[in-house]
Amino acid sequence: RRSQKSCQSRKQATLPHTPHEKETADPTVTAPEGAKARSRSRSRSRSHRELPPCTLLSFPPKFIMSSILAFLGDNAIQVDASEAEASLRSDCPDLLRDGESVGMAFKGRGGKGRDDSFFTTQRILIRDRKGLTGKKTKYQSVPYRAVKSFSTETAGTMDADVELKVSASGIGSFKMDFVPEVDALAIKRFLSER
């Protein structure tokens, strides 16, 4: 009997859960601590359901996966050439020659990395930051007159990156990887015009 009375008193003393019950609830009745805690947890879970979905989950799954693969695979993303040129001129003022401008620019690891590639009017310029701090920087310059051959490869299903392979005298061959959204034919046209 005693447990039945305590259960009934708990039922009567619970806090209201809907707006309609708030109006009819007796303000003189107080709820035991357990009922208050249950009510708070219910209201938290109810308010949690009303929150907007996580912004990461609002992106399409393909975008999330391609961003992860671009970062892990060190695939470069195309960035604004004029902003990249301004950044390059401020970081290393004497690197670009007079009359030399950046036509295409790329940033490594899907835009999150430290390495950059620039296709200027006179050469391919690769900036490779070394070490943990990135203070040590290697600049590799490949003049277009030294380029023997190049090839581009578009993205596929299993190999989801755009590749540029360049063979140059004095350097040998090297490969650059880009995210699938980069236009491989635009890179090929740019290099063919040089």
Check whether residue 122 and residue 148 sit in a common domain. yes
Q: Are residues 144 and 78 in the same domain?
A: yes
Say how far residue 78 (Cα) sits from the centre of its chain.
Answer: 13
Query: What confidence score (pLDDT) does residue 21 get?
Result: 46
Same domain as 114, residue 74? yes
Buried b (16+ CB within 10 A) or exposed e, 97-134: eeeeebbbbbbbbbbebebbbbbbebbbbbbeeeeeee
Q: Is 10 part of any domain?
A: yes
What pLDDT was estimated at residue 74? 65
Helix-helix angle 2-13:33-49, to 10 degrees: 40
In a domain, 146, yes or no: yes
| The pLDDT of residue 56 | 46
| pLDDT value, residue 141 | 93
| Residue 85 is assigned to a structural domain of this protein | yes
Question: pLDDT for 65-74, tens place per residue?
Answer: 555 554 555 6
| Domain assignment of residue 138, yes or no | yes
Residue 88: which domain range? Answer: 61-192
Within this chain, do residues 37 and 121 fall inside the same structural domain, yes or no? Answer: no
| pLDDT at 144 (0 to 100) | 95
Q: Are both 10 and 66 inside the same structural domain?
A: no
Residue 81 lies in a domain: yes
Q: Kindly report the CATH number assigned to the domain that includes residue 185.
A: 2.30.29.50
Query: Same domain, yes or no, for 44 and 87?
Result: no
Residues 19 and 90 in one domain: no
Q: Give the largest Cα separation in the chain, rounded.
A: 98
Give yes or no: residues 164 and 137 share one domain: yes
Total number of domains constituting the chain: 2
Report yes or no on 84 lying in a domain: yes
Q: What percent of the chain has pLDDT over 90?
A: 32
Q: Which residue numbers in the chain have pLDDT < 50?
A: 5-6, 9-11, 13-15, 21-24, 47-48, 51, 56-57, 70
Do 84 and 152 sit in the same domain of this protein? yes
